[in-house]
C-alpha cells in the first residue's frame, strides 16, 4: 500500500489481551483486523444514517401529503375562477351592448 497511513491506537491491557485472542483465533494480523473493523464501522454508520433519513421521510409523509392536497385544492379553486372569468368574456355581445367584457390574464 503505497498511500497507506500509519495509525497508533492506545488500548487498555484488558482490551489488548482480548484483541490478541481474537487475532489468534482468526489467524489475522492486527492491521488487517483493524482495517476490516473500520470498514465495517463506516458501512454500519452509513446504513444507520440512511435508516434515519428513511424514518424521517416516513414520519413526515402525512404532513407532506396534507400540504400537497392543500396546494392542489387552491390550484383547482383558482382554475375554476379563471375558467368562469373566461366564460364571461365569451358572451355573445352582452345584450347588444357596444362594450364587451374582456378579461386580461
pLDDT at 103 over 50: no
Is the whole-model pTM more than 0.75?
no
User: How confident is the model over 76-92, as pLDDT tens digits?
Assistant: 888 888 887 777 665 55
Torsion angle, alpha carbons of 84, 85, 89, 93, to 10: 60
Q: Positive or negative, the Cα torsion across 63, 66, 70, 75?
A: positive
Residue 104 is predicted with a pLDDT of 47
Amino acid at each position: 500500500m503505497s498511500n497507506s497511513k500509519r495509525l497508533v491506537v492506545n488500548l487498555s491491557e484488558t482490551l489488548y489481551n482480548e484483541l490478541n485472542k481474537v487475532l489468534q483465533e482468526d489467524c489475522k494480523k492486527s492491521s488487517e483486523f483493524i482495517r476490516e473493523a473500520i470498514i465495517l464501522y463506516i458501512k454500519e454508520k452509513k446504513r444507520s444514517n440512511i435508516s434515519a433519513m428513511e424514518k424521517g421521510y416516513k414520519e413526515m409523509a402525512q404532513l407532506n401529503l396534507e400540504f400537497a392536497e392543500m396546494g392542489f385544492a387552491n390550484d383547482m379553486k383558482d382554475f375554476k375562477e379563471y375558467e368562469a372569468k373566461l366564460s364571461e368574456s365569451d358572451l355573445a355581445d352582452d345584450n347588444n351592448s357596444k362594450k364587451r367584457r374582456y378579461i386580461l390574464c
